[in-house]
Amino acid sequence: MAKGDPGVTTRGRRAAPRSKRAASAATGEPDLVQLLTPEGERIESAIGPDGTEYRVDFTDEEYRGLYRDLVLVRKLDAEATALQRQGELGLWASLLGQEAAQVGSGRALRTQDMAFPTYREHGVLYCRGIDPIMPLGLFRGVDQGGWDPNEFKFNMYTIVIGAQTLHATGYAMGVHMDGKTGTEDGEAVIAYFGDGATSQGDVNEAFVWASVFNAPLVFFCQNNQYAISEPLERQTRVPLYQRAGGFGFPGVRVDGNDVLASYAVTRHALDNARLGQGPSLIEAYTYRMGAHTTSDDPTRYRIASEVEAWQAKDPIARMKAFLTKQQIADESFFASVDEQARTESVHLRERVLNMPNPEPVTMFDHVYPHGSPELDEQRARFSKYMESFEGSAH
């Protein structure tokens, strides 16, 4: 993907190259791999806890593409939140604040890689090329998620916390058994989960399995600081990325509000996985700016100053500052991105309002691949019952 080192260009208008060891005191967060500061300063490379050096080298077009992704997913997410408020969706789990973690990791995936999401990965879904209306069907209640997991290499959303990490592990074992690891164009798998999920048995079992079977898997934990109302301290007393060590694979904490660093660490971990070097854990240190879901009231459990502090680390603002400073993009570009986001969200809204309810009889479909006599009978009886209302004033 990359051409040239963005730190050293012929035009000489890049930020002065700096190299930074993770655990920089400058940001106040320990052990954080960062390539773009909240002020929009580029850091040329960052060193992870195991000495890995992370860097990215994007073309101007690619930088602008990442910015566009961030703005689009934020806007579509906001539209979905609005649709819920207007009663068009039963529920919505917003990704606000987590765009960089999702776009960074999502763009690091290659076509052949497989992703196992939770219910919040709308940004990753977008990066996988799936129509953003798809998750809205699930939250509207007209289907249970309409995309084809095999076609897009993005599995169904998983609501039961942590369950998908085991599916990802098994899938990754299968990749390995199919002989699709050990080369640069091998396949890798990524499992998404939250900080709360790290307390679940399934996630810990997945760590054990992935480790002992050397599965080509990246565990991508978005630590957004809360599991509904419960703060991180209720889940763990050690930094989450350090858990990996106990299971026998590397762990790294990345600034999850930094799309460049999120991309760099994910790409590196995926490459290691596809080369046959086994699993790793990425803790994307970020913040959920909104409510857990639209049914939540975050003012009950967190204070405004905390939200404000994170506001200052906004993933889009810092990317915009960087693009502006480096003259990679100008006002007309930003305006055109905003316009595109607006158009797409209006389009999304129209399509959601037109999403038809499913025919009731379809509830009997796909319980079993080849049906079941019992169910066929129930379907027939139900159809007859429904028909009995036709034309009648019920």
Partner 1 sequence: MATETLTLGKALNTGLRRALENDPKVVIMGEDVGKLGGVFRITDGLQKDFGDQRVIDTPLAESGIIGTAVGLAIRGFRPVCEIQFDGFVYPAYDQIVSQVAKMHYRSQGKVTIPMVIRIPYGGGIGAVEHHSESPEAYFAHTAGLKVVTCANPQDAYSMIQQAIASDDPIVFLEPKRRYWEKGPVELDAPLDAAYPLHSARVARAGTDATVLAYGPMVRTALDAATAAAEDGRELEVIDLRTLSPLDLTAAYESVKRTGRCVVVHEAPGNLGLGSEIAARITEECFYSLESPVLRVTGFDTPYPASRVEEEYLPDLDRVLDAVDRTFGW
Ligand X SMILES: Cc1ncc(C[n+]2csc(CCOP(=O)(O)OP(=O)(O)O)c2C)c(N)n1
The residue nearest ligand X at its CB is: 194
Q: Which amino acid is at 123?
A: G
- Of the residues 2, 228, 303, 346, which one makes contact with ligand X according to CB under 6 A: 228
Among 43, 124, 166, 227, interactor with ligand X by CB under 6 A: 227
**d(C-alpha 126, C-alpha 233), whole Å:** 32
Least Å distance, CB 159 to ligand X, is 5
The least distance separating partner 1 from the CB of residue 219, rounded to whole angstroms, comes to 14
Single residue of 197, 252, 260, 273 touching ligand X by CB under 6 A: 197
Contacting residue, 2, 375, 380, 386, with partner 1 by CB under 8 A: 375
Binding mask 210-239 for partner 1 (x = CB under 8 A): --x---------------------------
Of 42, 128, 243, 292, catalytic: 292
DSSP 148: -
Integer CA distances (angstroms), 4 to 1, 10, 260, in order: 10, 10, 15
Question: CB of 97: closest distance to ligand X in angstroms?
Answer: 11
Active site residue 268: no
Concerning whether 301 is annotated as a catalytic residue, the answer is: yes
Report DSSP letters for 41-95, one per residue.
Answer: -B-SEEE-TTS-EE-----HHHHHHHHHHHHHHHHHHHHHHHHHHTTSSS-----
- 124, two tokens: 């990753």
Specify whether 292 is catalytic.
yes
| Distance linking the first and last C-alpha atoms of the chain | 61
Q: How many residues comprise the chain?
A: 394
- Pick from 38, 106, 186, 196 the residue near ligand X by CB under 6 A: 196
Determine the longest span between alpha carbons in the chain, in angstroms.
78
Q: Which amino acid is at 299?
A: T
Q: What angle do CA 169, 118, 69 make, to 5 degrees?
A: 110
Residues binding ligand X (CB under 6 A): 120, 159-161, 194-197, 224, 226-228, 288, 292
Q: Where do contacts with partner 1 occur on this chain (CB under 8 A)? A: 116, 143-146, 148-150, 155-156, 160, 163, 165-175, 177-178, 201-202, 205-206, 208-209, 212, 365-370, 372-375
Could you list the active site residues?
288, 292, 301
